[in-house]
Amino acid sequence: MSDTTPVTDHATEFAGKTALVTGAASGIGLATARRLGAGGARVVIADHNAEGAEKAAAELTAQGIEAAAVTLDVTRPESVEAAVRFTVATFGGLDLAVNNAGIGGPSAPTGAYDIEAYDRVVRTNLDGVFYSMRYELPVMEAAGRGGAIVNVASILGSVAFPGSIAYVAAKHGVLGLTKTAGAEYASKGIRVNAVGPGFIETPLLQTMDKAAHDGLVALHPAGRLGRSEEVAELIAFLLSERASFMAGGYHLVDGAYTAV
């Protein structure tokens, strides 16, 4: 039997679509925004770092990508709602969303973990994803043309990491949000998935000393940390029609970290 699957033109696969990417001033978010823009999408760069968001949008614009920046605090529902409104007002709709904004947090055993730090990490990494979907999904549903959302979780959405109770709890929660929303909206043509990156060379790791960095590398059978562009490729796939039957799933990009 011959394969009749159409060949995808990656330069136009997102043509005519608008994407909102949170935490997009740097790291995985910026790489994803760049990848979606290269595929023809109009992209909104949303980040709490207003200067960084403007710089990223200018970079994409210089590359011929339609891009705009908006300041966003994902811990505040009204800020998320405003960012979604900005996206619709600027580009006429919302077809794709990547809920990537997140923070790390201090390292301490659970019995000594700072409560304010715990609240801050969970508000950003878990509540922020809920708030994002809370305002993205109604816009996609009302438009009646489907859509796709990718929530950026982590390998720590499925395994433990001693000293990181807040981050691990939040990322486990992101999987619950993704599975529930994925099941609720699949019949409406809106696909919700999550990705689980291993440790990636991003600004979050720039302050780490060499010994700690080498220790993280050793946890990955691939023998290195991941690159933001590698995560962006998986996200782009999940947002594309190539993943048209994938919903409510959790997809790893981790150099075999969770395989051992």
Locate all alpha helices (DSSP H) within the chain, ordered by sequence.
27-38, 50-62, 77-91, 115-122, 128-143, 165-185, 210-218, 228-239
Report, as an integer, the average pLDDT of 79-103: 98
The pLDDT tens digits of the residues spanning 203-245 come to 767 778 899 999 999 999 999 999 999 999 999 999 999 999 9
Q: For 108, which DSSP code?
A: B
Report, as an integer, the average pLDDT of 242-252: 98
Report, as an integer, the average pLDDT of 118-123: 98
pLDDT mean across residues, the chain:
95
Q: What is the structure's pLDDT at 208?
A: 83
Catalytic residue among 118, 131, 135, 167: 167
Give the domains, in start order, of the chain with CATH numbers: 18-197+235-250 (3.40.50.720)
The pLDDT tens digits of the residues spanning 166-213 come to 999 999 999 999 999 999 999 999 999 999 999 999 876 777 889 999
Q: What is the structure's pLDDT at 203?
A: 72
Encode 101-113: b = buried (16+ Cβ within 10 Å), e = exposed: bbbebeebeeeeb
Determine whether 167 is an active site residue: yes
Q: For 6, which DSSP code?
A: P
The pLDDT tens digits of the residues spanning 18-74 come to 999 999 999 999 999 999 999 999 999 999 999 999 999 999 999 999 999 999 999
Identity of the amino acid at 195: V
For residue 2, name the pLDDT band (cuts at 50, 70, 90): very low
Alpha-carbon distance of 207 to 231, in angstroms, equals 21
The pLDDT tens digits of the residues spanning 12-32 come to 999 999 999 999 999 999 999
Q: What is the structure's pLDDT at 9?
A: 73
Contact between residue 123 and residue 171 where contact means Cβ atoms under 8 Å apart: no
Alpha-carbon distance of 13 to 35, in angstroms, equals 11
The pLDDT of residue 146 is above 80: yes
Q: What is the structure's pLDDT at 8?
A: 64
Q: What is the structure's pLDDT at 170?
A: 98
- CB atoms near residue 4 (< 10 Å): 5
Q: What is the structure's pLDDT at 11?
A: 84
Contact between residue 230 and residue 5 where contact means Cβ atoms under 8 Å apart: no
Lookup: tokens for 260: 């051992």
Q: What is the structure's pLDDT at 25?
A: 97
Predicted structure pTM score: 0.95
The pLDDT of residue 86 is above 90: yes
Lookup result for tokens 């619709």: 88
SS3 99: strand
Question: Which whole-number Å values give the CA distances from 234 to 21, 37, 137, 143, 252, in the listed order?
Answer: 15, 15, 21, 26, 9
- How many residues are listed for the chain in this entry? 260
- CB atoms near residue 218 (< 10 Å): 9
Lookup: tokens for 186: 């699949």
Lookup: tokens for 108: 């301490």
Report, as an integer, the average pLDDT of 122-144: 98
Contact between residue 94 and residue 88 where contact means Cβ atoms under 8 Å apart: yes
Alpha-carbon distance of 104 to 255, in angstroms, equals 20
The pLDDT of residue 1 is above 50: no
Sign of CA dihedral 59, 60, 64, 67: negative
For residue 131, name the pLDDT band (cuts at 50, 70, 90): very high
The pLDDT tens digits of the residues spanning 5-16 come to 445 678 899 999
